[in-house]
Structure 1
Amino acid sequence: MAKLLYSATMSVDGFIAGPGGDMSWMAALPDTGPHEVADGLWQQIGSLVCGARTFFGDDPNAGTDSEGAFGGLWSGPQFVLTHNPPDRVVPDTTFLSDLGEAVTAARAAAGDRYVNVLGADVATQCLTAGLLDEILVFVAPVLLGDGVPLFRGPGAALEEISSTAGPIPSIWYRVVR
């Protein structure tokens, strides 16, 4: 069964987006060259689960070839949690209002690859429901001062799987149950 992975880039002070979900800070990050974890991550993802704020939110690459998940490299089935789905059809996207249904569908679609969770609220819901398996955090060299924190809600014990050093270090954790 596919594992649920929450991956996010956060500021040193713990925010994944600025106030109001502003993601413009991501476009201002310096190009640090190859990153052994980030560069191949998109190939390990079989489907996405995200909330409406993330899906319809601020993409710092909007209007460019890098628009979309993983800088435009990833495409595939997306499952968006919302109580207000759009009237129009969005290719490869299913809108659901139930977390359990969304995760079940995303796992089936992902096959033997990860279901990547996008968005702090959905990640917190998955953690609270005991569905989240792993967390991958990239730490960007910036202080946002305010915004959307990596998590809001209950705590959990984590066990480090791996970490990388560099201009944008990463830490990959397993959620201890």
Structure 2
Amino acid sequence: MAKLLYSAAMSLDGFIAGPGGDMQWVAEFFGPNPEIDRLVPEIGALLVGRRTYGGDDPYRGTEAEGKAFGGAWEGPQFVLTHRPAAPKPGVTFVDDLHRGVEAAKAAAGEKYVNVLGATVARACVDAGLLDEVLVSVLPVLLGEGVRLFDRPGGPAVRLERKSATEAPLATNLWLRVVR
């Protein structure tokens, strides 16, 4: 059965997007990352938040604009929203977290369901559905923006390190949610 993996690039001070959801800051850190290169073929489906789906694209203005992982991945996407957008091939809009997770897992088969978006990741953690987290920590301090996890007052969630790897422009931390 598919596992739910939240993956994100993060500034050292804990932000995955800058103020207003700005993602342009991450573009200067694009480069070789063997951990991400190994992950991409293991992704069977995406579970995406509505703001992430319709938000700023770090590939804006390039041939990779609008493509997951800069075009390195293609497959079914499930967008969690109460505001569906215009239909697009391969994209399914769902309005319930559990139904969205079930549909994405069914589509992913034995591969990962990659969660994109801090709000969806938080909801998955709070519902006890998230299995793993992969964070590529980038050498920059953004100062403000969208946090990797923003759960004030939430209960502690214990994580166990699966691996820590270095790439030229990032340090990757792969963690498993301890249940």
TM range (shorter): over 0.9
Identify unmatched segments of 5+ residues in structure 2. none
Out of 84, 88, 91, the position equivalent to 2:89 is 91
Q: Deviations over 1:64-103 (max 9, x none)?
A: 22222111111110000111112x2111011011000000
Q: How does 1:2-151 map to 2 (within 5 A)?
A: 2-29=2-29, 31=31, 34-67=32-65, 68-86=67-85, 88-151=86-149
What amino acid maps onto 2:178 in structure 1? Answer: V
Q: Deviations over 1:29-56 (max 9, x none)?
A: 263xx32201222111000001110000
Identity %: 59
What amino acid maps onto 1:173 in structure 2? Answer: L
Q: Deviations over 1:2-46 (max 9, x none)?
A: 000000000000000001110010112263xx3220122211100
Q: Equivalents in 1 of 2:166, 2:28: separation in Å?
A: 20
The residue number in structure 1 matching 2:157 is 156
Q: Equivalents in 2 of 1:8, 1:27: separation in Å?
A: 13
Q: Equivalents in 1 of 2:61, 2:34: separation in Å?
A: 27
Given the superposition, is the C-alpha separation of residues 74 and 13 from structure 1 closer, same or farther in structure 2, using an over 3 Å criterion?
same
Identify unmatched segments of 5+ residues in structure 1. none
Compute the RMSD of aligned alpha carbons. Answer: 1.2
Which stretches of structure 1, 4 residues or longer, exceed 3 Å deviation after superposition?
Answer: none
Q: Normalised by the size of structure 2, how large is the TM-score?
A: 0.93
What amino acid maps onto 1:176 in structure 2? Answer: V
Q: Deviations over 1:100-131 (max 9, x none)?
A: 00000000000110000000000000000000
What amino acid maps onto 1:16 in structure 2? Answer: I
The residue number in structure 2 matching 1:175 is 177
What displacement does 1:165 show? 2.5
Count of aligned positions = 174
Which deviates the most, 126-135 or 158-167? Answer: 158-167
Q: Equivalents in 2 of 1:76, 1:23: separation in Å?
A: 22
Q: Equivalents in 2 of 1:38, 1:98: separation in Å?
A: 29
What amino acid maps onto 1:59 in structure 2? Answer: D
